[in-house]
Amino acid sequence: MEHKRSHFHDYSHAVEYDRRAERSEIRAQLVPKLVEALELAGRERVLDLATGTGRFARPVAERLKHGKIIGLDEALAMLRVAQEQDGKDPIPGFLSTAGTAEAFPFRAGAFDRVFTVFALHHFSHPPLTMTEAHRVLKPRGRFVILDPVVATAEDALDEAIHDLINQILRRMHGNDFHYHSAEDIQDLLTGAGFHITRADLHAFSVDQDGMDGIPTGRHWLEIAEQMEGESPELRMRFEERYFRYEKKGEKVHVQGSFGYALVCGEKE
């Protein structure tokens, strides 16, 4: 769920979101990483939390020859697009249901795996989401999180940039929007009782016109534009850690790197 909260139930937005996702090379490169991290034998019952239009549910479902995948999302428009498939074959073994990331409509121990992709930064109460994921997993069940992240803070300037990034995002997208670091995600999981089995950081360099293909790219561009009003020291560090951009008329050229954390927690 990368979309603004007011767009959650906007069908035309859901269709456009799905089209953008289909064109993203970064997403395509992250799909096998996610599938690998889930360690599927083929008979698992899997929950795709904040499934959106089912873009990541499909490759996971294809590994579940005798299993099931449930897509949970609060956005009915996104679920509608996931079911329509626009000429594609239905996602095998896929069922969708409406619900929130803070109260899953499932019994305890119902799933072997839970995963969520590009959605954690939207959740209202991440610790509660972690607790819910822990509750619905069987013992030795695995929760895999894949999300855009801020760089690890090495000094006070990095911490100030983290704070500023999230202040800007909350101003534009509501108080729930928050980019975590990879370490933050690990802390959220361990705080809910998970044992960390994997924590990878995938960085993608870009040198391109526009933000197409960059997950949450629109939000990052908003941050960079707001950084123009900050101190030269902050702007320079942001460009070193993330990216720089140049406007030429209506066009924007971006050059830098975007990081995505893939963190796995196992229920004891």
pLDDT tens digits, 113-161 = 999 999 999 999 999 999 999 999 999 999 999 999 999 999 999 999 9
Reported pTM: 0.92
| Distance from C-alpha of 118 to C-alpha of 145, rounded to nearest angstrom | 8
Helix (H), strand (E) at residue 150:
strand 137-150
Q: Which two tokens stand for residue 160?
A: 């100030």
Give the per-residue pLDDT at 8.
53
DSSP-derived letter for residue 215 is T
Asked if residue 81 has pLDDT above 70, the reply is: yes
| Distance from C-alpha of 125 to C-alpha of 120, rounded to nearest angstrom | 10
Asked if residue 1 has pLDDT above 50, the reply is: no
Q: In terms of residues, how long is the chain?
A: 268
Query: Could you tell me which residue, 85 or 79, shows the higher pLDDT?
Result: 79
| Distance from C-alpha of 151 to C-alpha of 115, rounded to nearest angstrom | 22
| Distance from C-alpha of 209 to C-alpha of 247, rounded to nearest angstrom | 10
Residue carrying structure tokens 């006070």: 156
Count of CA atoms in the C-beta half-sphere (13 A) of 17: 27
pLDDT band at 224 (very low <50, low <70, confident <90, very high): very high
* Domain limits, the chain: 5-151+175-205+258-267
Please return the burial class of 226, using the count of CB atoms within 10 Å of its CB with bins 0-12, 13-18 and 19+: middle
Q: Could you tell me the CA-to-CA distances from 88 to 69, 81, 83, 135, 244 in Å, in that order? A: 18, 11, 10, 34, 38
3-class DSSP state of 43: coil
Least confident of 23-27, 104-108, 213-217, 243-247: 23-27
115, 87 contact by CB (below 8 A): no
201, 259 contact by CB (below 8 A): yes
Asked if residue 215 has pLDDT above 80, the reply is: yes
Give the per-residue pLDDT at 210.
93
CATH of 5-151+175-205+258-267, picked from 3.40.50.920, 3.40.50.150, 2.40.10.10, 3.40.190.10, is 3.40.50.150
Q: Could you tell me the CA-to-CA distances from 213 to 91, 107, 182 in Å, in that order? A: 23, 37, 22
